Every structure is written in C-alpha cells, then in structure tokens.
Structure 1
Amino acid sequence: MSAASAQLNSTPTTAVTASEALPTAEQHGIKEHSDGRFGYVPVQTRSDRFKSVNVADFAAVTGREAVWKLSPVKKFADLTSGPLDGSVYPIDHTDVAGVRVDWVDRSDSRIGSAGAPEERASANAWSSFEQALSITISGEDAKEATVTRAALGSGARGAHTIIEAKPFSRAILILENTGEARLTENVEIILGESANLTVVSLQEWGDSAVHLTNHFATIGRDARLKHVVVTLGGSIVRVNPSVQLTGIGSDTELLGLYFADAGQHLEQQVFVNHVAPNTRSRVTYKGALQGQGARTVWIGDVLIGREAAGTDSYEQNRNLVLTEGTRADSIPNLEIETGDITGAGHASATGRFDDEQLFYLQSRGITEDEARRLVVRGFLSEIVQQIGSPLLEERLQAAVEAELTATEDN
C-alpha cells in the first residue's frame, strides 16, 4: 500500500497537553465531516503530531491509535503504562580515542534537543530514566566504537541515550543489544556541522525480549548521518527512527534489515523531515519472513517542508516472503509542501521468490535449496554491504546464513 499527499496550507502548532493535541479545522483550512458531527479533524501533517515528555499527557493505549494499530499492545502493557526501572544498567564499550562514554544527569542541556515522544511508551521511558547514557564523538579522524548491553534482566525498564557528534567528527558507532529485556527507551542523535556519523542499532535479543525504542536525530549544516537498523532477535522489537534535516546541505541515509521468524513481531516506523533547503535523504529497508505468525511492519513518512527547496528524497521497502503463514505490512507516505524540489518518490513491494531467478540458477546445476539461499542472501546483502564496517558486515552475513539454515531445517 502507498499514500502520497501534497499539502500547501499547513500551519504547524505546538501542543502542550493531550487535550490541545486535537487540531482545529482552521489549522489546515479544512472542515470536519458532515456525518456524525463529532467535531474532530485528524492531524493532516506528520510533523503536527502531539508531543510531550510527560507520560501523563498521553491517554492509555488501546491499540486503536494510529501509532499502535499494527502493534500487539497487550503484550507490552507494562511498558506503556506500568512503572519502569530507570536506574543505570551495565554496559561494555570499546576504548577508542575520540569517543567518550559516561552517564549524565537529566539536567544535561542536550536532553530534548533532538526530539520528543509522540506516543506513550516513549514518554513513559522519558519520565522514568534517572541518568542518560552519553556517547560523545570528536575528532576528524575515522574511528569505530561499539557499546554493548547484555544484562538488562526481565523487569520493565526505561532508558535514555544521547549520541553527540561534534562538528567535523567522523565515526561508526555500533549499539549492540543481546540477552533478555523488557525495555522502552529514547535515543537522541545530534550531529554538528559537517559531522559524518554512522549509527548501527543491532538487535540480537533473546527469544522472549521486548524492545520499544524511538531514535530522534537532528542533523546540522552539511552533516551526514547513516542510520542502520538490523533486527534479527527478540519476540517484539519496534525501532522508530525520526530524523530532522535542519541544516542546509544536510544528508541522511536510513537503512534497515530484518529477518522475522515464527511468532516474531518486528516493526519500524520511519520519519524523515526535510526542514532546511538543499537536503537529501534515502530510505531503504529490506526484510525476510519465515514461519507461522512471523509479522513485520514498516511505515515510512517523509515530509518536505515549505522552506526545504532543492530537496532530494526517496524511500523504499522490500519484503521477501519465504514460507506460508507470514504477514508484512508496508506503508510509505510522502507529504510535499513546496514545488521547488529536485526529486521525491517512494516504493513498496512484498512477494515470494522470483521463479525466473530460481530457474536460472537451477539450470546451472545449483540445487533448489542452495538457489533459494543465494537469492535471499543477495536480497539482504544490499543493506549489509553499505554499513562500512568489514568485521560487522562479515558477522551479519553469517547471521543471515544461520537464519536461512534454520529455514531449511524447518
């Protein structure tokens, strides 16, 4: 499915409480529906969604909300409405010059500078964390660092992370998640002028882990963010990146790879907001599904604002279905508020193996099982090969191979 809209008369408003989140007809120059006379006009522009860092400002989650309607909300009610453990937790990290990792108080001036929660689980984490994990990157030399979490436990937890790339800095940062957890968190990513940062969020959780995370990024003048989401493990994993291109000439590439097995729910809701002129974005997410009840959700929102002349944007999602009994939801959305752009587009596709590819490979003496493996490996390798870390790329290729072996065993 896909949807696109061009909206030329939208005036953003700032909401403070839940009651103020309902827009008026005058806000967008439209009228309420004549049937029913409920007096409600839905939010017309993606950036106008209600935001608050206070969980009490959000109504209880029912599953009928736009942000939750495709999620199994009953399975993580403790993360949306219950009390959370917001204390610090064990981490491991590589010792790399130019990368500082420490804990900071809630009063840190950077907190809240990249974004704010748009839904209750995110706000619950924001209201609950005691200290934020701070990762600060400096220096123009290229570097790579890994931060690992592996012992979060089975209790409901809230967390907050700040990633700041100083002006002109360059780095690859890998956020590695393993073990069991019930976690809702927010990650803020702040890029200074001409910074070049790759953030890889790697989810290799245990079989029963539940992880809800929102990544908020703001990109300065001529800075470039490559944001990569790789989800292979966990029972329910929902990673929602939101990127604001606020600096002239800023650039972002959002990549995603996911492999859903039987009973897994893997979800991504992506938002790219072109605010400044001459900005560029590319969004490419690819996933494979196998096993009864495997479910993936991808929603991609791109907004090209009134002042974003010269924007160049494209988003796409591709899903490969390997077995019966799976479901993939793929919904790209594009909003354009200016006609002065370089280009914009979106695409979505979900399907099974290409019979012609399989026939070609089998005609060259390759068995059907091996031909299927080659097709899937090639399909997902497009994402892996763009990460820029040879060791991580090799490791992820092996992980995908293990998933494919599990498919054959089943």
Structure 2
Amino acid sequence: MSAASSQTAPAVIDTSATPTLKHDHGTVPVQTRSERFKSYDPEAFPAVTGREVEWKFTPVDRIRHFFTGELDGSRYPFEQQIDGAAVIEWIDRDDSRIGRAGIPEEPASANAWASFQEALLVTVTGEAVRLHLDRNQLGDTPRAAHTVIHAEENSRGIVLLENSGPAQLDENVEIILDPGAQLTVVTVHEWDDDALHVASHFARLGHGASLKHVAVSLGGSLVRVNPSVHLASEGSEIEAFGVYFADAGQHLEHQVFINHDAPHTRSRVTYKGALQGTDARSVWIGDVLIQQTATGTDSYEENRNLLLTDGTRSDSVPNLEIETGDIAGAGHASASGRFDDEQLFYLESRGIPEEEARRLVVRGFLSDIIQKIGSPELEQRLEDAIELELRGEGASK
C-alpha cells in the first residue's frame, strides 16, 4: 500500500456489514449486494481467493497487484475538449466534494481510494454541455486514479471519458447529480491488448435527476467496470447501457448495482455483447435492490450476448431483490446464443454474401445500444470501431 493510504478517509467507513453472516449451520458468505462489507482500507478486506461471489468469474491472479500493491496515485496527462459551461480541475484528496457517492466494496477499489493523491473534478454548471476527456498516455506503471463528476442543479450535459493506449489502471469514479440534473456519462475502453483496467463507478442521484450511464468495452486484456447507482431521492432515474466486443483471450466484465432507495424511482439496464475467438470471455452481473422505502419503483434489466465462434464463454447473472410489494413493475431477462439463422437466411436470399451478412447482423445487434448515447459523432466512431473488431483490425491489433 502506498504512503498516501495513511491519510484520513473523506467520509465515515461503513463497518455495519461484514464479509460473512452467522447462520444456524455455520458461517455463510454474504449473497446480497446490499450487505457487502465496505471500507476505504484495502487491508480491512479478507484475502481474495477467487471463490467469493463477486470474484468467482474473474481471473484474479491477473489483477492481484491492484488489491494491496503499490500504485502511482499522482496526476496523469489527459487531453480535454469543453463545449459549454463546465470546469475541470485537480482537487486535494481531503476536499469535501470527495466521498459523497459511495464506499468501496472490494479491495481493488479501496486500494485505489487509499493511493490517489489528487482527484480530477469535472463540474457541469450549465446546459447543453459537451465535455471530452481522453486518457491515452497512462503508461505501463500500476496506477490509481479518482474522478468526481458533479452535475449541478438543473444542469444538462454529456461527459465522455475515453481510454486508449497502454495502462494498468485501478480507479474510482464518483458521479453526483444535484436535483433536476440530466447527465450522460460515457466511458469508452479501447486499451492496448495487454492493458488491465479495474474501475468502480459510484453514482448518487438527487430529486428528479436523470443519469444515462454508458460503458463501451472493446480493448484491453482484462477490463472490469462495476457501476453502482443509488437512487436516493424521489423521482430520480437511471438508464444504464453497455456494449462490449471480446476477442480471443480478452476478459470483459461488468457488475451493475441499482439501489432503489426512494419512492417513484425508475431504472432501465441494457447490456449487449459479442464474443469471437478462443477464450474470449464476458461477465455481466446485474443486481437490483428495491428497498421498503422505494414504493412505486419501475425497474427492468436485461443482458444479451452473441457468441460468434466456438471457444467463447459468456456468464450472465441477473439478480432482483424486492422488499416492498408496492411497485409499478420489476423484471429481468438474460440470453446468450449464436446467430439468428432466419436473419442470415433473409440477407443471403437477397444476394448478400454470408460473411457480410454476419457482420450486418452483429452491427445491428450492438448498434441498438450505441444509438442511445445521443452524440452522432461518437456513435459513428464507435460503429466504425466495431466494424474493425469484426474484421479483426481493432485499434490495438
């Protein structure tokens, strides 16, 4: 652990939950997301064996150095473009604007929190804001990062966090929406083939606030992005989208937690992925909690995976916890499979060669998510990136 880890945490550590629960038949693991242990101290977590519910699908040996190892928490270079009323600045780790969205639930997140020296603060203050951060020079040194994205009351904007090049990045991202704010946050991962990236995203939404969170994972050896959204005030809503394309040897993982904690909140979670090549692997876990206080909740989550070749594996686990019967609706769906033969037959019967027909089917399958972003230029660029992936010509290939 780095020297920075001895500094005071920005909020009270939640130790009310423990890693295990006592049962008449002995000690059993915590199974529900809401009961997981939380701490800013990586050494407070038990050693990761890979059998834990949150780690059992992850090749933990590839990222074990993120759990307690030394991380460079200094400032890093980035490129920025701002159109509209927004401010980007570095702030000290003891700034009161840090620690309002969540608390780490696993040691990699806690180690990143303990190791960063300064946080990058993005403040959206006006309407129709478009802000682009491009991180493409992080290098191969294991690094910790902390980003806070704050949308002020009634502000509106799109924040794009783009990642490419080499990296060993362990990070936390906090997203705070004040009442009435409407924000889209897009994270794009087009890392080099050997890059490692573990990220925990914490979002907290105020009264009537609306967040669209989009995760696009195309590159990297192992990319694990875990968005956790707290619908803490009445009328808040989240649309969480994800699209990913795993090639041979890639591991792309997303664990989503939606916590309905206030009346009349709404959530929609839709993740889609395609896999091709030996040992291409994707993991999606969707946890939705509807608390007793969340009357009138409307929630639905789904994950779809398209397996393009033999040797791929996709794990898809939707979980739904409901603590009140007074809801508008809740449900989930999950499916993984191969091409729709009827779609291929339709295209081939109109003179389209089989290989081209397959590409069209995959692009249509994934484009459904990309078109939710709301930025035509970014949508087109991602469409082109997926086309390159289909042809085996991705940016880092």
Range into which the TM-score falls when normalised by the shorter chain: over 0.9
- Distance in 2 (CA, whole Å) between partners of 1:143 and 1:274 is 28
Q: Hey, what does 2:71 align to over in structure 1?
A: 84
CA distance in 2, matches of 1:156, 1:322: 33
Give, in angstroms, the shift of residue 95 of structure 1.
3.1
Q: Is 1:15–1:21's contact at 8 Å kept on the other side of the alignment?
A: no
Q: Quick one: distance in 2 between partners of 1:87 and 1:181?
A: 14
**SS of residue matched to 1:397:** helix
Per the TM alignment, residue 81 of structure 1 is displaced from its structure 2 partner at its CA by: 2.1
SS of the aligned residue for 1:359 comes to: helix
Give the counterpart of 1:290 among 276, 294, 300.
276
Does 1:345 find its partner at 2:343?
no
Q: RMSD value over aligned CA atoms?
A: 1.6
SS in 1 for 2:288: strand
1:154 aligns with 2:148: no
Deviations 1:2-36 (A, max 9, x none): xxxxxxxxxxxx85289x44334xxxxxx433xxx
Q: Which stretches in structure 2 are left out of the alignment for 5+ residues?
A: 1-12
Query: SS where residue 373 of structure 1 aligns?
Result: helix
Q: Mapping of 1:164-183 within 5 angstroms?
A: 164-183=150-169
Q: Does 1:115 align with 2:102?
A: yes
Q: Does 1:260 align with 2:246?
A: yes
Give CA deviations for 1:261-293 in whole Å, capped at 9, x if unaligned.
000000000000000000000000000000011
Aligned counterpart for 2:55 among listed residues 53, 68, 71: 68
Aligned to 2:24: 32
Partner amino acid, structure 2, of 1:16: T
Instruction: Report the more deviating stretch, 196-205 or 149-158.
Output: 149-158
Q: Which amino acid aligns with 1:123?
A: A
Matched AA of 2:355: D
C-alpha offsets along residues 162-220 of structure 1, whole Å, 9 cap, x if unaligned? Answer: 00000000000000001101011000000000100000000011111000000000011
Q: Is the 8 A contact 2:124 2:155 kept in 1?
A: yes
Q: How many pairs were matched up?
A: 383
Please, which moves more after superposition, 105-114 or 172-181?
105-114
- 2:89 equivalent among 83, 86, 102: 102
Of 109, 117, 124, the match for 1:137: 124
Matches of 1:303 and 1:110, distance apart in 2:
26
Name the amino acid aligned to 1:50. Answer: F
**In 2 relative to 1, CA 54–17 (structure 1 residues): closer, same or farther, beyond 3 Å?**
farther
SS of 2:108's equivalent?
Answer: helix
Contact 1:182 1:210 in 2 (8 A): yes
1:22 paired residue number: 20
Does residue 278 (structure 1) correspond to residue 264 (structure 2)? The answer is yes
The equivalent of 2:43 in structure 1 is: 56
Which residue of structure 2 lines up, in the alignment, with residue 304 of structure 1? 290
**Partner Cα separation in structure 2 for residue 248 and residue 15 of structure 1:** 24
Cα distance in 2, alignment partners of residues 215 and 89 from structure 1 = 19
Name the SS of the counterpart of 1:406 in structure 2.
coil
Q: Residues 225 and 253 of structure 1 are in contact (CA less than 8 Å); yes or no, is this contact kept in structure 2? A: yes
Residue 359, structure 1, aligned to residue 345, structure 2: yes
Q: In the alignment, is the contact (CA less than 8 A) between 1:17 and 1:57 conserved in 2?
A: no
Question: 1-side partners of 2:384 and 2:112: how far apart?
Answer: 34
Residue 247 of structure 1: aligned partner: 233
Counterpart residue type for residue 375 of structure 1 = V
Q: Is the 8 A contact 1:17 1:52 kept in 2?
A: no
Out of 255, 261, 267, which is 1:269 matched to? Answer: 255
1:317-368: per-residue Cα shift (whole Å, max 9, x none)?
0000011100000000000000000000000000000111111111111111
Q: Select the structure with the greater relative contact order (CA < 8 A; seq sep ≥ 6).
A: 1
AA aligned to 2:24 is E
Query: Aligned equivalents of 2:213 and 2:307: distance in 1?
Result: 25
Query: Which residue identity does 1:32 align to in structure 2?
Result: D
Structure 1: give runs of 5+ residues left out of the alignment.
1-13, 25-30, 34-38
Distance 2:117 2:21 in 1: 33
Provide the secondary structure at the position in 1 that maps to 2:386. Answer: helix
Three-state SS of the structure 2 residue aligned to 1:339 is coil
Q: Is the 8 A contact 2:275 2:306 kept in 1?
A: yes
Q: Distance in 1 between matches of 2:20 and 2:49?
A: 18
Question: Structure 1: how far apart are the matches of 2:303 and 2:24?
Answer: 33
Given residue 20 of structure 2, which amino acid in structure 1 is its aligned partner? L
Q: Secondary structure at the match of 1:317?
A: strand
**Equivalent residue, structure 1, for 2:380:** 394
2:205/2:233 contact within 8 Å kept: yes
% identity of equivalent residues:
62
Match of 1:10 in 2: none
| Partner-residue secondary structure (3-state), 2:383 | helix
Residue 40 of structure 1: SS of its match in structure 2?
strand
Deviation at 1:60, TM superposition (A): 2.1
Tell me if 1:204 matches 2:190.
yes
Mean CA deviation greater in 90-99 or 165-174: 90-99
Given the two structures, how large is their TM-score scaled by the length of structure 1?
Answer: 0.91
TM-score with structure 2 setting the length: 0.94
CA contact (8 A) 2:112 2:171 kept: yes
Task: State the Cα distance separating 1:44 from its structure 2 match.
Answer: 4.9
2:231 partner amino acid = L
1:325 and 2:324 matched: no
